[in-house]
Structure 1
């Protein structure tokens, strides 16, 4: 039987351990903003038009006015879908891995997140713009999803910090990019076209993710920083496919002050290749890309598949 002094020490140790765990949890969770505005009357009362897609299966989604969003909302309103090639690839990937969790980084108004949920998948939708996050949640309220969707109102970067979102002036609600200028301007003195949001890392979302993952990255040229802090994620999760928008990386890759300049892009590509991922174009032939010629990649979009899985 332990002596009184040893029992006191043991109790103190247990208490200290509990405090440390609480502090760790708080440090990891205080930056994460799980979106719950579906319970807010303002969410249910917003007057955006909501329509049914022409995808298979169909689902309901809420849209911006055409004048605010000339790409995704206009496409869904006129054609009933957005980016048919990517939609088909995501459908194929999720069909191959029925137990997968779909991670949508840069979820925008929730087109792919809602589609995956309609396919009965668990989804983690990460969207930095609160207006977009609200649209995702309103869309969820209009669908009978068999999957489970968690919406995080955060940016993804290489560390927990506060970042500014630089507004795209081209009537594109999907074109809000994380500004390279982090914390340089206090929120009260921010230019009118900046909005501020808490950034988290890919590793931070681990508690919300299931055992198998299909990942799409669409974060307006910030892919390099996002993948810097994902070491643990790739160690403990099985990632089959990464669908990555390359347009903004490609167009800014020669700019030294870009979020993903050439050297950073080369490092990101090398890390993914070292983990067994193979990059290819989206075209039907899925032309493989040379990882030693990153500056010459001229695709708008790239699909990375792990070497152990089949192409989609």
Structure 2
């Protein structure tokens, strides 16, 4: 009798263990399928290379961050098909002299009266500045291009089509969906890594201040309320420029920065970046800063780091005392002396 009860207990225990194993396998497979279907995978190395990141880290969720970083750096998946995204008005040829035409997807000009409207009408935007950038890149084969505030990707696409590696960052997911479509249509996704973040002097969630007629003029709003309803369409995760040091350490970099009045905050959050990365050129919009205290602080930051401002179209050095009459865009060049 005792022997029979003991056998029953062992049999019951064995059945229970088998049932647990089956449940575990089913849950594991379901979770694995879900991760694959969302395109999420994790890189295990803290030493991050651009080409490795593009293959091993795919970020499709606003809560997914690259491992090995202090803050939430998000790489945008350029393998996903966003061609049916509702914000895409049309895709036209981007025409830059000395570079083969490549597709660029744009907004309805009714809500993007500057960039998209001009691209649709002329096939380009800021073509003189872009030609200056390409000329500098041609003269220095070591330079890689960092596009901070890439918008629909005019500079990114031109530089990638020119044959140089690009890392492009933007806070607006819609822009990155459009740029991904442009890259796919132009067959140049392998030249570009997209980062879906805002830049600031601290890691935080930032809201968007939109202009209904100039979507390219989207501005960041710091310190948004915890009670505000935030999502991918009206907010982003801000990181520091310092967070990108691992991607560019021991490299020579050309930075184009157009982040709608957040330039100083990006610099303040990039002190280590300027110390540990060889930033040879910084191209930026000056229009918003010529009369402001922020402009004075930008000048102080850049001159202390031994940069001189130039007019990008004439290549003439700009005098600090005449900052209010500087060109709309300027380029800071590191002094080699």
Do they fold alike, i.e. is TM over 0.5? yes
2:84 to 40, 45, 48: 45
1:82-103 deviations in Å (ceiling 9; x for gaps): 1122111111111112232100
Which position in structure 1 is the counterpart of 2:53? none
Task: Quote the Cα distance in structure 1 between the aligned partners of 2:286 and 2:78.
Answer: 32
Unaligned runs of 5+ in 1: 1-20, 254-261
Aligned to 1:273: 303
Corresponding residue of 2:241: 202
- Find the aligned partners of 1:79 and 1:52 in 2 and give their Cα distance: 10
Report deviation, 1:71.
1.1
- Which residue does the alignment assign to 2:133? 90
Q: Alpha carbons of 1:30 and 1:159: their partners in 2 closer, same or farther (altered >3 Å)?
A: closer
What residue number does 1:66 align with? 109
Which residue, out of 149, 171, 187, partners 1:144? 187
Note the alpha carbon deviations across 1:265-307, whole angstroms, 9 max, x for none: 32321221122210122342x343333554x244311111112
C-alpha distance after superposition, 1:4-39 (max 9, x if no partner): xxxxxxxxxxxxxxxxx8xxx857265112111642
TM-align CA RMSD:
2.5
Q: Which one of the candidate residues 112, 116, 132 is aligned to 2:159?
A: 116
- TM-score w.r.t. structure 2 length? 0.73
**8 Å Cα contact 1:246/1:302 also seen in 2:** yes
Q: Find 1:176's aligned residue among 201, 218, 228.
A: 218
| Kept after mapping to 2: 8 A contact 1:187/1:196 | no
Q: Report what 1:229 is aligned to.
A: 269
Stretches of 4+ moved more than 4 A in 1? Answer: none
**Number of matched pairs:** 268
Which of the numbers 298, 317, 325 marks the counterpart of 1:288? 317
Partner of 1:34: 75
Partner of 2:289: 249
Distance 1:122 1:26 in 2: 23
Instruction: Indicate whether 1:302 and 2:327 are aligned.
Output: no
How many angstroms apart in 2 are the aligned matches of 1:239 and 1:274?
14
Deviation of residue 134 (structure 1)?
0.6
Q: Give the unaligned 5+ runs of structure 2.
A: 1-45, 47-65
Q: TM-score, normalised by structure 1?
A: 0.78
Aligned equivalents of 1:37 and 1:117: distance in 2? Answer: 14
* Post-superposition offset of 1:70: 1.1
- Tell me, in whole angstroms, the C-alpha distance in 1 between the residues paired with 2:236 and 2:180: 18
Match of 1:187 in 2: 228
Q: Which has the larger Rg?
A: 2
Match of 2:199 among 151, 156, 174: 156
CA contact under 8 A between 2:78 and 2:189: conserved in structure 1?
no
Q: Secondary structure at the match of 1:109?
A: coil
Q: Is the 8 A contact 1:167 1:176 kept in 2?
A: yes
